[in-house]
C-alpha cells in the first residue's frame, strides 16, 4: 500500500523540520523521511549560533526573521529550543573597518539591535579577550546560541501534533516522476505518493537530487569543533565571538565549557557517509594554539572533547532554496554550515512558495539554483573575504 501526502520532505534536520512545521501549520499533509534519525546529520553537529551579522544582506534578512522565532519559541512552537542570550561579537582588523561599519548600518535598517564598536569597547564587553588597537567589531547584545537538536525535534514534535508523519531509518531510493512532474518517492521503508518532494538532506542532497536526474553543485564539507574546560580566569558564559583574523569562532557551552570551531583547514569532498565521532588528527593542537591568541586565560583550561560534522557546501557557500528540476521538486540544501540560524525563516518562506506559489514573508529568490548556471554567484558588496578555507 502506498501512503499519500501533499508534501514529502527528505531529511529531518533543522531545515526539513522547520519546513514540515510551517507546512503543517497551513494544514498540509506532510511525510518526513529520514535515512537515520532526526537531527543526526549536520544539525546534530551544529554549533547553534544565533546572530544576524553577515556580509550578504539577503542572508541577514533570513536570520533576522528567524531570530523572532528563537526568542519567542515557547509561544510560537512550544517547548524549548535552548536559546541563550549571551550577546555576540564579530571581530575584524582595522583594514576592513569601513566595510563592517556599512554592514552594521544595513542591519540596523532591518531592525537589528547592532552597533559598530572599537577596541576599547570590545575590551569592555569581553575583558578576557586580547584585543589589538585598531580592531573593530559588530556587536549584537541580544544574539547568542541555541540547541540545534532541541530546535529540530521541537519543530518536528509540533508538526507531528498537527498530523505530520516522521519515518526514520528510511533512505530514499527513487524519486518518481511522470509527465515532467514528481509523483512521490520510494524508500527502504515503503513508497509515498505526493505531488511535491523537497530535498533537505544536507550533505546527502546531491545524491538525492540525482534520483530525479538533477545535478546540483553541492559537495560534502567537513568541519571539526572542540570543547574546552574553562579555568576560573575565563568566566562562562560570555558573548559568542567570530574572530576573522584568527579564522575561528567560539561560544560558551553551559557554565563551564567553551565550544571552538576553526574556519580553515576544512575538508571539502568525499563521502557524507564517513564517521564523524572523531576530529581530524592534530585538530586539538590547532585549537589550543589558536584560541589562546584571543583568550590567553584559556592556556590554563582543559581539553574536553572534539568531533567532526558534515554539511553540504555550494561554490558560493550560500544555500540553494526553491523549485528545480521536474515540477514539484524543491531544494533546501547547500547551507554550507550556516543554515541553523536561518532555519525558521527558510521553512516559512519555502512553505509559502510551495503552497502559494511565492514566498511572501521572506525573499528566497537570491538563492535559486539557476544562479550557478547563469554565473551569478552570491557575493557581498562589503565582504571581509571570510568563508570556510
Per-residue pLDDT of the chain (389 residues; tens, 9 = 90+): 789 999 999 999 999 999 999 999 999 999 999 999 999 999 999 999 999 999 999 999 999 999 999 999 999 999 999 999 999 999 999 999 999 999 999 999 999 999 999 999 999 999 999 999 999 999 999 999 999 999 999 999 999 999 999 999 999 999 999 999 999 999 999 999 999 999 999 999 999 999 999 999 999 999 999 999 999 999 999 999 999 999 999 999 999 999 999 999 999 999 999 999 999 999 999 999 999 999 999 999 999 999 999 999 999 999 999 999 999 999 999 999 999 999 999 999 999 999 999 999 999 999 999 999 999 999 998 999 777 65
d(CA 120, CA 278): 39
Cell numbers at residue 65, please? 526573521
Q: Is the pTM of this model over 0.75?
A: yes
What number of H helices and E strands is found in the chain? 11, 22
Given this chain, do its domains 3-46+148-218+316-373 and 83-144+219-312 carry the same CATH topology?
no
Residues 348 and 22 sit within 8 Å (Cβ to Cβ): yes
- 8 Å CB contact between 280 and 224: yes
Fold of 83-144+219-312: D-Amino Acid Oxidase; Chain A, domain 2 (3.30.9)
CB 93 within 8 A of CB 85: no
Question: What is the model's pLDDT at position 305?
Answer: 96
Assigned fold of 3-46+148-218+316-373 = FAD/NAD(P)-binding domain (3.50.50)
| pLDDT of 389 | 54
For the chain, the 3-state helix, strand and coil shares in percent, each to the nearest 5, are 30, 30, 40
Give the Cα separation of 309 and 275 in Å (integer).
9
DSSP secondary structure letter of residue 375: T
pLDDT number for residue 381: 86
Burial class (CB in 10 A: 0-12, 13-18, 19+), 255: exposed
- Angle subtended at Cα 198 by Cα 194 and Cα 202, rounded to the nearest 5 degrees: 145
SS3 at position 74? helix
Q: State the Cα–Cα distance between residues 194 and 386, nearest whole angstrom.
A: 40
Q: What is the pLDDT of residues 102-146, one digit of tens each?
A: 999 999 999 999 999 999 999 999 999 999 999 999 999 999 999
DSSP one-letter string for 115-169: EEEEHHHHHHH-TTS---TT-EEEEETT-EE--HHHHHHHHHHHHHHTT-EEEES
Q: What are phi and psi of 229, to 5 degrees?
A: -80, 125
What is the signed CA dihedral for 364, 194, 217, 277, rounded to 10 degrees? Answer: 100
How many Cβ atoms from other residues are within 10 Å of residue 6's Cβ? 16
Q: Three-class SS of residue 91? A: strand
Peptide bond into 237 cis (omega under 30): yes
- Domain extents in the chain: 3-46+148-218+316-373, 83-144+219-312
Tracing cell 499533509 back to the chain, one arrives at: 29
- pLDDT for the residue 2: 87
As a whole number of angstroms, the distance between CA 321 and CA 329 comes to 11
The model's pLDDT over 169-226, given as tens digits with 9 standing for 90+, comes to: 999 999 999 999 999 999 999 999 999 999 999 999 999 999 999 999 999 999 999 9
Amino acid at each position: 500500500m502506498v501512503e499519500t501526502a501533499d508534501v514529502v520532505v527528505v531529511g529531518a534536520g533543522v531545515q526539513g523540520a522547520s519546513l514540515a512545521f510551517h507546512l503543517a501549520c497551513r494544514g498540509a499533509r506532510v511525510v518526513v523521511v529520514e535515512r537515520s534519525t532526526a537531527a543526526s546529520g549536520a544539525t546534530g553537529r551544529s554549533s547553534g549560533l544565533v546572530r544576524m551579522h553577515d556580509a550578504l544582506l539577503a542572508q541577514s534578512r533570513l536570520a533576522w526573521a528567524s531570530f523572532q522565532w528563537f526568542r519567542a519559541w515557547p509561544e510560537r512552537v512550544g517547548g524549548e529550543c535552548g536559546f541563550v542570550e549571551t550577546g555576540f561579537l564579530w571581530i575584524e582588523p582595522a583594514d576592513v573597518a569601513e566595510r563592517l561599519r556599512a554592514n552594521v548600518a544595513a542591519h540596523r535598517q532591518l531592525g537589528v539591535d547592532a552597533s559598530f564598536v572599537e577596541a576599547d569597547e570590545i575590551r569592555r564587553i569581553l575583558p578576557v579577550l586580547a584585543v589589538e588597537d585598531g580592531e573593530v567589531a559588530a556587536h549584537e547584545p541580544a544574539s547568542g546560541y541555541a540547541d540545534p537538536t532541541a530546535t529540530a525535534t521541537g519543530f518536528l514534535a509540533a508538526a507531528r501534533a498537527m498530523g505530520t508523519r516522521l519515518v526514520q531509518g528510511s533512505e530514499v531510493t527513487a524519486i518518481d516522476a511522470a509527465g515532467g512532474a514528481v509523483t512521490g518517492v520510494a524508500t527502504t521503508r515503503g513508497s509515498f505518493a505526493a505531488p511535491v518532494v523537497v530535498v533537505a538532506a544536507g550533505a546527502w542532497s546531491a545524491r538525492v537530487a540525482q534520483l530525479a536526474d538533477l545535478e546540483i553543485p553541492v559537495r560534502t564539507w567537513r568541519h571539526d569543533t572542540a570543547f574546552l574546560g574553562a579555568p576560573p580566569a575565563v568566566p562562562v558564559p560570555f558573548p559568542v565571538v567570530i574572530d576573522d583574523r584568527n579564522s575561528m569562532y567560539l561560544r560558551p557551552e553551559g557554565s563551564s565549557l567553551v565550544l571552538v570551531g576553526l574556519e580553515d583547514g576544512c575538508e571539502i569532498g568525499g563521502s557524507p557517509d564517513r564517521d564523524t565521532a572523531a576530529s581530524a588528527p592534530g585538530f586539538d593542537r590547532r585549537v589550543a594554539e589558536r584560541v589562546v591568541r584571543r583568550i590567553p586565560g584559556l592556556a590554563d583550561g582543559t581539553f574536553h572533547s572534539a568531533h567532526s560534522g558534515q554539511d553540504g557546501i555550494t561554490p558560493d557557500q550560500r544555500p540553494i532554496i526553491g523549485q528545480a528540476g521536474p515540477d514539484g521538486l524543491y531544494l533546501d540544501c547547500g547551507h554550507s554550515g550556516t543554515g541553523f540560524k536561518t532555519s525558521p525563516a527558510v521553512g516559512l518562506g519555502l512553505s509559502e512558495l510551495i503552497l502559494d506559489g511565492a514566498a511572501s514573508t521572506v525573499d528566497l529568490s537570491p538563492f535559486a539554483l539557476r544562479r550557478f548556471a547563469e554565473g551569478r554567484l552570491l557575493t557581498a558588496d562589503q565582504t571581509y573575504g571570510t568563508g570556510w578555507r
